[in-house]
Amino acid sequence: MKKIWSIIGVVITLTLVSSVSYGQCRSFARNECRPDLEPFVHDGIFNATELSEGESAELYKTFYSNQEYRIAICGAATLPTIKFQIMDADRNVLFTNQDKNFARIWDFKLEASQQLIISIEVQTDDERLSDTFARGCIAVLIGFNAD
């Protein structure tokens, strides 16, 4: 019986730690990244997670025709460069910030409504002096032009 309570305690602890971490990233997205969307209107969704060097994540989002959008990507100051790509459903690259000096934002307008893939990757710092990898919050925010 003690073992069951011990396992339940571990699960509750992990859940609480995960919730706190998500809350911190959401707060980071709101306070640090949202200003990058101006003058675009934020869609109200805070897409944020913690990543380490060398890790990547993808976000699938539907965008509508004849609407101007801004995608803003930002990460904690402790992280090295963040690469992001926007791909169509067939994984054809429509934009990569690697070609734009790792810009944090991209403004665009589509001719047809479609689902796009936003792929983010934390680059590895080759000049790292220790064996530990940086870890921190990354946010992907999307805004639209309300005019």
48-56 mean pLDDT: 93
Confidence of residue 133 (pLDDT cuts 50, 70, 90): confident
pLDDT digits (tens, 9 = 90+) for 72-124: 999 998 899 999 999 999 999 999 999 999 999 999 999 999 999 999 999 98
Is the Cβ–Cβ distance between 121 and 10 less than 8 Å? no
In the chain, % helix, strand, coil (3-state, to 5) comes to 25, 40, 35
- Percent of the chain having pLDDT more than 90? 67
What architecture (CATH level 2) is domain 2-144? Answer: Sandwich (2.60)
User: pTM of whole model > 0.85?
Assistant: no
The overall average pLDDT reported for the chain is 85
H or E segment at 106?
A: strand 105-109
User: What SS3 class is residue 54?
Assistant: coil
